[in-house]
Amino acid sequence: MTDSAHALQRIHQLRGILKGHNYRYYVLNAPAISDAAYDVLLRELEQLEQENAQPIPVDSPTQTVGFNPNPAFASKTHALPMLSLANAFSDAEITDFMRRNQQGLLENETITYIAEPKVDGLAINMYYAFGQLVYAATRGDGVIGEDVTDNIRSVSGIPWSLAADGVDIPEHIEIRGEVYMPKASFAALNKRQQAADLKPFANPRNAAAGSLRQLDASVTAGRGLAFFAYATGLAGDVFAQSQHQMLAQLAALGFATQETGLLQSEDAILQYYQTWQAKRPSLDYEIDGMVFKVDDFQQQQQLGAVARSPRWAMAYKFPAEEVETVVEAITWQVGRTGVLTPVANMLPVLVAGVMVSRATLHNIQELARKDVRIGDRVVIRRAGDVIPEVVRTLSLQAAHRAPATPVPKLCPVCASAVAQAEGEAALRCLGGLACSAQLTERVKHFVSRDAFDIEGFGAKLAEKLVEKGQIKRLSDVFKLDFAIINTWEGMGEKKIANLKQHIQDKRKISLARFIYALGIRHVGQTTARQLAQHFGDLAALQQANVEELLGIHDVGEEVSQSLLDFFTQAYNQDELVALLALGIEVLPDDTPEPSGNHPLVGKTVVLTGSFARMKRSAAKTQLQQLGVKVASAVSQSTDVLIAGEKAGSKRKKALDLGIDIVDEAQLLLWLQSDVA
């Protein structure tokens, strides 16, 4: 190595060392060296930078004072893209995964798999130069992430400098892993949130992500985050020859790593999965599955990758976690369309990382079938790891059970009569907008993203406006008394001005959005778009008869009757007149003209899971603009399921029905071209 190369290496090392000491001094208030020792290092860096011909970066310790929080996160481009993992939800999918890998290699070639618990956290990429941490970035879109270097220094399990006997460290290398919040840290954080009268975090994953993205690094430092390393990016191919060797070397360098297993047979893999599923509740951090990877890096390279995930790795997700608790009360919740839903209020319990105290009992038939009663010990789970539901009661044979929960004869909110239509499971309040519960939910729907999309008009504001009598009907959204609202706590001048402007900006709306915003029973976004494209304007829709409505694709007897009922009610007609009088302009939709050559013409598509490069709502809109029918549920009539991350029950159902399943990469190809 030349003298100039030695100098450059030392410059990188000193910058990393001094940034670390600045962080310890200014953020953690825990200096590791004396001021005199710090000054010696700083003077050495100043001299080397002056002697070196290269420009001095603005974030060099010689150019900065203190350690101030960044006003916003900068972007960092990963040297190698951070791919996502494909998911499996059944043993059969693991069988297929192993079969495909064997087909991709020589027929008799032995494949060893390494099994790693899948931590439910936030993926991070860290770049080291000459053994010093230079920056850390979130996954972002897989190519560009957020610079969270200052915050990552307070996360346990991450060394700032790399050095270990017997480990040959490349001059430039990316180390990757998962930042997570241990269960103890999560409990302590939520205790502090509640003591400060702040909203608790929903789960450790959200808490970890929010904590790592704090602009003030001292806030992150107090959140107790931790890290597990699981991969390399740049220079990973020269750092190790296999996954297990790479993890061993990372552990030797000071990175925290997890317990893993080396397995070859399908039986061994499936047994290992079951073992960890049983261990899951006893761990001090959250995992949501097991990751199985081909261990040998050369075999990984041969197998390659698809657009966004490697072929040689698969995440086998755990089923929804089931937990026991006790029902303290059963209450009735009134929804936007007046449906009464029984809800079990329970002793709070942690389910799949989320504290749950309420769970749906769906409807009166389910309540009777499961026979859940006050005082029962019940099993609950988060369906698809999202919506809490009661699975079953454990108290069917218990003595002295409470009596069965009575079905209400009056609405619990407005005391209006309730009724159950013939052939329906739903019990419905007949109070309409006279019922404040229905009005609140309708207002939330009216201003929501897919309807009028009024920014800053959230659920809590809608609830308060109805509660305080500021909104008594939907049209009141556009004639709020801001002088009164300005007296409410948390509603300052700037917030009021922004809300007023956002409402004003939304006085023009497409016909499809307007129909959807009205909250007509059985009329979702897809049906609203079909109606808008068929009738062209609001007046024509209002005057439509049953024959015209039934002639529209996807409009059956239920939907047509619901539309006729809505538009013949005097109250609804008055609301439409009031909205138009307030200056609401309903614009005709541009009717898409699908290309006859597009592969999705005449097909029904369902979107599920989350996508890395675009929002699901945006994907839905673009597909509809191509003339593709986008449905909300998987059925026999579904042609294609487009599955993103964490695709759950819909993916399983599509597999069971033999429906084609594609990923986000194929979706992007379809959206980029109108031809096959």
Domains 3-68 and 86-317 share a fold: no
Residue 523 has pLDDT above 80, yes or no: yes
Cβ contacts of residue 269 below 8 Å, gap of 6+?
94, 98, 113, 115, 263, 292
Q: Where are the beta strands (DSSP E) in 396-503?
A: 418-419, 427-429
Q: Comparing 29-38, 92-101, 497-506, which segment has the lowest mean pLDDT?
A: 29-38
Fold of 3-68: Helix Hairpins (1.10.287)
Candidate CATH numbers 3.40.50.150, 3.40.50.10190, 1.10.1660.10, 3.40.190.10; the one for domain 604-672: 3.40.50.10190
How many residues can be counted in the chain?
A: 676
**How far is the CA of 229 from the CAs of 263, 317, 440, in angstroms?**
20, 20, 47
How many whole angstroms separate alpha carbon 273 and alpha carbon 551? 52
Q: Provide the 3-class DSSP secondary structure of residue 337.
A: coil
Fold of 86-317: D-amino Acid Aminotransferase; Chain A, domain 1 (3.30.470)
437 or 116, higher pLDDT? 116
How many whole angstroms separate alpha carbon 71 and alpha carbon 575? 46
Q: 165, exposed or middle or buried, with CB in 10 Å at 0-12, 13-18, 19+?
A: exposed
Do the bridges between strand 640-643 and strand 354-360 make them parallel or antiparallel, or are there none, so unpaired? Answer: unpaired
Q: What is the pLDDT of residue 152?
A: 95
Q: Comparing 293-297, 299-303, 522-526, 579-583, which segment has the lowest mean pLDDT?
A: 522-526
Residue 437 has pLDDT above 50, yes or no: yes
- Is residue 118 among the annotated active site residues? yes
Q: What is the mean pLDDT of residues 501-510?
A: 92
pLDDT tens string 451-492 = 999 988 988 899 999 889 999 989 999 999 999 998 998 888
Q: Which two tokens stand for residue 231?
A: 């991969």
pLDDT tens string 126-166 = 999 999 999 999 888 788 888 999 999 999 999 999 988 88
Q: 199, exposed or middle or buried, with CB in 10 Å at 0-12, 13-18, 19+?
A: exposed
- Amino acid (one-letter) located at 657: L
How many whole angstroms separate alpha carbon 372 and alpha carbon 328? 11
How many whole angstroms separate alpha carbon 401 and alpha carbon 352? 29
Q: Smallest Cα–Cα separation from 232: which of 113, 112, 126, 116?
A: 126
Candidate CATH numbers 1.10.150.20, 2.10.109.10, 3.30.960.10, 3.40.50.1100; the one for domain 456-587: 1.10.150.20
Q: Using an 8 Å Cβ cutoff, are 333 and 343 in contact?
A: yes
Alpha helices in 70-200 (DSSP H): 91-104, 149-152, 183-195
Which helix (H) or strand (E) segment holds residue 114: the answer is strand 113-119
Cβ contacts of residue 493 below 8 Å, gap of 6+?
486
Q: What is the mean pLDDT of residues 230-246?
A: 95
Q: Which two tokens stand for residue 431?
A: 């109070």
Which member of 19, 76, 118, 317 is catalytic? 118
- Amino acid (one-letter) located at 380: I
Looking at domain 322-419, its CATH superfamily turns out to be: Nucleic acid-binding proteins (2.40.50.140)
Q: What is the mean pLDDT of residues 186-212?
A: 86
Q: Which two tokens stand for residue 460?
A: 């809590």
Q: What is the mean pLDDT of residues 81-104?
A: 90
Residue 61 has pLDDT above 50, yes or no: yes
Q: Which two tokens stand for residue 413?
A: 């909110």
Q: What is the pLDDT of residue 660?
A: 85
Map out the domains of the chain as residue ranges.
3-68, 86-317, 322-419, 456-587, 604-672
pLDDT tens string 644-672 = 877 777 888 888 888 888 888 888 878 76
Q: Is the pTM of this model over 0.75?
A: no
Cα Rg, the chain, nearest whole Å: 29
Phi, psi of 30 (to 5 degrees): -145, 70
Greatest mean pLDDT among 419-433, 498-512, 592-606: 498-512
